[in-house]
Each structure stands twice: as C-alpha cells, then as structure tokens.
Amino acid sequence: GQNIDQPTEMTATEGAIVQINCTYQTSGFNGLFWYQQHAGEAPTFLSYNVLDGLEEKGRFSSFLSRSKGYCYLLLKELQMKDSASYLCAVIRSNDYKLSFGAGTTVTVRA
C-alpha cells in the first residue's frame, strides 16, 4: 500500500511564504504530484517531481527527496486566491496507480 502524510491545515498572511510538507511510503515510486483544489471544485495540476531536487514554476516550487520519502510544496508571495486545499499524490510505476494524501487546507489572511 501507500502511506501519504501531510498537515491538515496551515494559515499564512498575504504576501508571505508557506511550505507544505509531505512524506510518503510506497513501492515502485514513479513520481510525485501536487494538485490544488478550491472548495467544491475539481483538483487542478500544479507540479510533478520524479527526480530529486527543486522544480520551480512561478510562485510555486516543489522539492523531492526520494531517499527520504519527503517532498514539499512552497508557495511564495501568497495571494488570497491561493486559499485552497493542496493535495500530495504519489504514482507507482507498475500500475500507474495514483494515490492521494488527505490534503492540506491553506488559508491566506489579509
């Protein structure tokens, strides 16, 4: 099976930085995804990491350490519209099964 752990909630101020950590245990790791989901809506793709290191995409960056089973999503220059749930997901190489963590609800305050 796969165990994916991430914090339940985080709160930050507009303009600040927030780091969402995620740890995972899986067999046949084939990549890690971050999705953003606003309340009542479908998740949308943010980032994908398959090799160790940092992937930067505008205000969002994602980091992966495969040996530690650890990753994080970094949100910079927070905006009110960034208030959402952020889902960490791991995909396996043998069956391409994608499993999600419970999600981290980020609240951005003025």
Partner 1 sequence: DGGITQSPKYLFRKEGQNVTLSCEQNLNHDAMYWYRQDPGQGLRLIYYSQIVNDFQKGDIAEGYSVSREKKESFPLTVTSAQKNPTAFYLCATGQPSRGANVLTFGAGSRLTVL
Q: Give residues in contact with partner 1 (CB under 8 A).
A: 1, 8, 31, 33, 41-45, 48, 50, 87, 89, 91, 95-103
- Least distance from partner 1 to the Cβ atom of residue 55, Å: 11
- Least distance from partner 1 to the Cβ atom of residue 14, Å: 26
- Least distance from partner 1 to the Cβ atom of residue 98, Å: 6
Instruction: Choose between 47 and 82: whose C-beta lies nearer to partner 1.
Output: 47
C-alpha 42/C-alpha 33 separation (Å) is 15
Instruction: Give the H or E element holding residue 59.
Output: none
Instruction: Choose between 44 and 65: whose C-beta lies nearer to partner 1.
Output: 44
Instruction: Choose between 2 and 82: whose C-beta lies nearer to partner 1.
Output: 2
C-alpha 88/C-alpha 96 separation (Å) is 15
Our CA dihedral for 35, 61, 97, 27, rounded to 10 degrees, sits at -140
Alpha helices, H only, the chain: none
